[in-house]
Amino acid sequence: MEFDPFLLARLQFAANISFHILFPTITIGLCWVLFYFRLRYTLSGDKAWEYAYFFWVKIFALSFALGVVSGITMSFQFGTNWPGFMERAGNIAGPLLGYEVLTAFFLEASFLGIMLFGKDRVSNRTHLIATALVAVGTSFSAFWILSLNSWMQTPSGYRIEDGVFFVNSWWEVIFNPSFPYRFAHMFNASLLTAAFLIMGVSAWRALKGVDGPATWKVMRTGALMAAVLAPLQVWIGDMHGLNTLEHQPAKIAAMEGIWETESHAPLTLFGFPDEEARTTHMAIKVPGLASLILTHEWDGELKGLNEFAGAHPPVAPVFWSFRVMVGVGTLMVLVGWWALWRLFRSREENSSAHPWLLRTLSVMTFSGWVAVLAGWYVTEIGRQPWIVDGLLRTAEVVADHSSATVAGTLFGYVLLYAFLLVSYIAALRYLATKPARSLSLSPQQQAMAAERSEGDA
């Protein structure tokens, strides 16, 4: 059976970027959480915050390593699989990626060393600053990469000469129309992913009876974050949707499964989109609600997919991914509020006090991953068939490799990634099950900590 090399190249890129995004999603958010733990320890001197820091910094380092190595793969894949993109859009994409390397990668990779190994070699203040610098680095990284991605979705500030993009205004390129929304949405998603990760692992520790005071402090931090950030995410997502409607109506039509242009468009809660029949089977619809959500008017007009014949994304994956994202997001709001209510109302710190909450939280440990992946599928598949929206087709920039080559390497990658993902989750489980006392400081460290606090006093 002969596979389409173009489809294989897309699948390979999808496999790589899906695996990659899991880890930056954790580290971008988790690093600010670590900074918070570190700051709380510095301000209060409460050892529990320091335990929390050193427990989570290990998971951070592991996630960071996976993010780095899979990110290196990405930087090569632009050239190996999509050489046409850099040849055509290199004048714009190149500098944005370059600034990511220059302002972010070295900063995070360098000061990570101090975060992990430098506690006994630098002052408390320097260690705190190093943590902040790594957090700033990860956020810079997100800034540049999302700027580029947003430019591909809503290009602006460019001109085209002989098929090659040139820059007219860097300001308009970097702060293109969808960038503020996408950055806010993704950054908040990272914080939410981190919130559910730290709550989930802490809940698991409590259920296994290996919890300590730090475990509950971490869980409360996560609950507070989730309760505030999850509803905030709903609002940001809504704004992002309005922005998408303005610039990429075909994507919205695919997300909502709207075939014909209509006003008073119904919201399809559920159904099976069928691209050949150009209809959604067994659709459960709420009249007028899609118009209300997207235009904030009952009678707002929404363009249907049939207006974009031959240039709209595949409908089913976008439609489904969107529902998964919204579903998980809604669950996160509810669980966030529940956790906040339970954990701050009662100060009881044992698993028998909140059995159902803890079970729910541990099941939702990786819920952020599911929502983030689904969200990226919506926005990336939703941009197809374009690589630069409306201007450059993905099929035009693909490399000319045989399908056997691409299929072979794809198989290798998928195997490797599956193995690493299993290992990652197993390692987290292993770390989470270790008794809390193994997190206490070594005698040598205790002595140094005592010395330091005397010095401070």
Partner 1 sequence: MDLGYWLPLFFAGAMGLALLIYVVLDGYDLGIGMLLPFASDQEKDVMVAAIGPFWDANETWIVLGVGILLIAFPQAHGIVLTSLYLPVTIMLMGLILRGVSFDFRVKAGDQHKAMWNRLFAIGSLVASVCQGWMLGAYVTGLTGDTTSTLFAVLIGLALPALYIMLGAAWLLIKTEGELFRKAAHWGRLAVWPMGGFLLLVSIATPLVSETIAAKWFTLPNAIGLMPIPIATGLAYAGLIWIFNSRQILDNGYGWLAFLALIVICVLASIGLAYSLFPDVVLGQLSIWDAASATESLLFTFWGAVIALPMILGYTFYIYRVFRGKATHLSYE
Q: Which residues bind partner 1 (CB under 8 A)?
A: 58, 61-62, 64-66, 68-73, 75-76, 78-80, 83-84, 86-87, 90-92, 94-95, 97-99, 101-103, 105-107, 109-114, 116-118, 121-122, 164, 166-167, 170, 399-401, 405, 409, 412-413, 416, 420, 423, 426-427, 430-431, 438, 442, 445
DSSP 215-284: HHHHHHHHHHHHHHHHHHHHHHHHHHHHHHHHH-HHHHHHHHT--S-EESPPEEEEEEEETTTTEEEEEE
Query: Smaller CB distance to partner 1: residue 342 or 401?
Result: 401
Beta strand segments in 288-424, E: 301-302, 386-388, 392-393
Contact 223, 340 (CB under 8 A): yes
- Specify burial of residue 231 (Cβ count, 10 A radius: 0-12, 13-18, 19+): middle
Shortest separation between residue 252's beta carbon and partner 1, angstroms: 32
Shortest separation between residue 7's beta carbon and partner 1, angstroms: 17
Please tell me what DSSP assigns to residue 131: H
Name the residue type at position 365. Answer: T
Query: Smaller CB distance to partner 1: residue 165 or 181?
Result: 165
Radius of gyration of the chain (CA): 24
Shortest separation between residue 46's beta carbon and partner 1, angstroms: 21
> Does an H or E element contain 433, and which?
helix 403-433
Query: Smaller CB distance to partner 1: residue 66 or 255?
Result: 66
Shortest separation between residue 99's beta carbon and partner 1, angstroms: 5
Query: Smaller CB distance to partner 1: residue 326 or 399?
Result: 399
Query: Smaller CB distance to partner 1: residue 83 or 213?
Result: 83
Query: Smaller CB distance to partner 1: residue 122 or 228?
Result: 122
Selection from 201, 183, 217, 209 nearest residue 62 by Cα: 201
Shortest separation between residue 443's beta carbon and partner 1, angstroms: 11
- In whole angstroms, give the CA distance from residue 101 to residue 85: 19
- Please report, for residues 2, 131, 455, the alpha-carbon distance to residue 127 in angstroms, rounded to integers and kept in the order given: 56, 6, 16
Shortest separation between residue 209's beta carbon and partner 1, angstroms: 19
Shortest separation between residue 93's beta carbon and partner 1, angstroms: 8
- In whole angstroms, give the CA distance from residue 254 to residue 144: 28
Beta strand segments in 124-218, E: 158-161, 164-167
Cis peptide bond upstream of 385, omega within 30:
yes
Query: Smaller CB distance to partner 1: residue 197 or 227?
Result: 197
Selection from 145, 158, 155, 172 nearest residue 376 by Cα: 145
Query: Smaller CB distance to partner 1: residue 102 or 239?
Result: 102
Shortest separation between residue 418's beta carbon and partner 1, angstroms: 13
